[in-house]
Amino acid sequence: MEITTGVVDGNVTNSSTSFLSVLNPYGAHTASFPFNFSYGDYDMPLDEDEDVTNSRTFFAAKIVIGMALVGIMLVCGIGNFIFIAALARSKKLRNLTNLLIANLAISDFLVAVVCCPFEMDYYVVRQLSWEHGHVLCASVNYLRTVSLYVSTNALLAIAIDRYLAIVHPLRPRMKCQTATGLIALVWTVSILVAIPSAYFTTETVLIIVQSQEKIFCGQIWPVDQQLYYKSYFLFIFGIEFLGPVVIMALCYARVSRELWFKAVPGFQTEQIRKRLRCRRKTVLVLMCILTAYVLCWAPFYGFTIVRDFFPAVFVKEKHYLTAFYIVECIAMSNSIINTLCFVTVKNNTIKYFKKIMLLHWKASYNGSKSSADLDLKTVGMPATEEVDCIRLK
């Protein structure tokens, strides 16, 4: 794809053969770069003597996004590592719901340790300038995009699994082969639909002021493919946000009716009441996660829709960059919320991890404990409420 960029009076303008669609770290199409560029039939003019990256507004936004990235690296990196380690070591945690949650944990962990350091350098250290080459530019954006879609698809799979387990309890649970196929489908769909984000990602030297240049890293779509770009965005919006949110909301509404508003026939034993309580707790956590997902990503997708289909709204908006950083940081916080909910609230993973580490330390100290003994002790640890629910079915 040929990309032509010209400089007029110290400002960057793009020829009619291409336009910029800046790809933010989450895979959505975000025009966040504070430079003059042609977007469709509209220009986003800035003062030719103004370097936006040196403004107080950008400085404040840089601090906010830096804090968000540090939070992701610490919370998602450490928290998801603990969950993955506990899941790999403890057979008690290996139920279907936790295996689906593991997809979120793996994707968020990869982003925290691989993508976030590069994004910190790009957004905060070098102030929107990429210095790591085209391959890493495309790879980082692609991995972030895949991570977002894996999270969405995994949340959808969890909602459907809870719906089938609670609303249709007499149906047989998903077999191991079916669960493996579902997990493979989650990753396959995410990998395939994110391919355009890697294909159209490139580097371009953009000059802000006469003596300073920035290397842009993001998607650049030819102008004659604007229709394909907008169609692709609507496709992604439908299958990776609107559709999953509607399906998840319907599943949890039906589950809530079953758990809270439907009388349980017969005499309720303590065992039945315990199963009902733990199911309600699980569903409440999942509904909170769905609510957080919508609240975090709806502003982002809404911002993108306005920018893509009504670009004139932002033509003379001086605080466009600040608004972008606000919605981006809100979207970022979703992975932190997921990690905190799944690791600390739902599964008591930290307790499992501490017990596993304690057993491992004792074995190393005594020198007489085999790995089989440790596995046996791990299996014998108290089960979480989720496992109790599955056992009581």
Residues 318, 319, 321, 326: what is their CA dihedral angle, to the nearest 10 degrees? -170
Higher pLDDT, 70 or 3: 70
Highest mean pLDDT among 132-146, 299-313, 316-330 belongs to 132-146
The sign of the torsion formed by the CA atoms of 187, 188, 190, 196 equals positive
Tens digit of pLDDT for each residue in 168-178?
888 877 777 88
Distance, in Å, from the CA atom of 94 to the CA atom of 87, rounded to the nearest integer, reads 6
Q: At CA 362, angle to CA 358 and CA 368, rounded to 5?
A: 145
Q: What is the model's pLDDT at position 254?
A: 92
CA angle 137, 140, 142 (to 5 degrees): 100
Between CA 331 and CA 292 the distance in angstroms is: 10
Domain residues of the chain, as ranges?
Answer: 5-392
Of residues 187 and 365, more confidence is placed in 187
pLDDT, position 52: 61
Q: At CA 309, angle to CA 307 and CA 313, rounded to 5?
A: 50
Report the pLDDT value the prediction gives residue 187, as an integer from 0 to 100.
94
H/E segment holding residue 212: strand 212-222
Q: What are phi and psi of 180, to 5 degrees?
A: -65, -40
**CA triple 91-94-96, angle to 5 deg:** 160
d(CA 346, CA 154): 16
pLDDT at residue 242 greater than cutoff 90:
yes
Q: How many CB atoms are closer than 10 A to CB 9? A: 8
Q: Is the pLDDT of residue 293 over 90?
A: yes
Amino acid at 311: P
Which amino acid would we find at residue 223?
V
**Whose CA is closest to 15, among 204, 284, 280, 264?**
204
pLDDT for 336 beyond 50: yes
Interval 166-219: pLDDT, tens: 888 888 777 778 888 889 999 999 999 999 988 988 888 765 555 667 788 888
103's enclosing H/E stretch is: helix 96-110
- For residue 349, the model assigns a pLDDT of 59
Instruction: Decide if pLDDT at 351 tops 70.
Output: no
Residues 6 or more apart whose Cβ sits within 8 Å of residue 18: 1, 2, 3, 4, 220, 221, 222, 223
55, 318 contact by CB (below 8 A) = no
Q: Is the pLDDT of residue 223 over 70?
A: yes
Is the CATH number of domain 5-392 1.20.1070.10?
A: yes
Write down the pLDDT at residue 314. 75
- pLDDT tens per residue, range 263-286: 666 666 777 778 778 888 888 888
| Dihedral angle computed from the Cα positions of residues 303, 305, 307 and 311, in that order, rounded to the nearest 10 degrees | -140
Summarize the confidence of residues 81-107 as an average pLDDT: 83
Q: For the chain, give the mean pLDDT.
A: 74
Q: Please determine, for residue 327, whether its predicted confidence score (pLDDT) is greater than 80.
A: yes
Residue with tokens 């959808």: 156
Q: Which of 82-86, 183-187, 293-297, 347-351 has the lowest mean pLDDT?
A: 347-351
36-65 average pLDDT score = 57
Of 52-56, 116-120, 144-148, 208-212, where does mean pLDDT reach its minimum? 208-212
Strand 11-14, strand 5-8: pairing: antiparallel
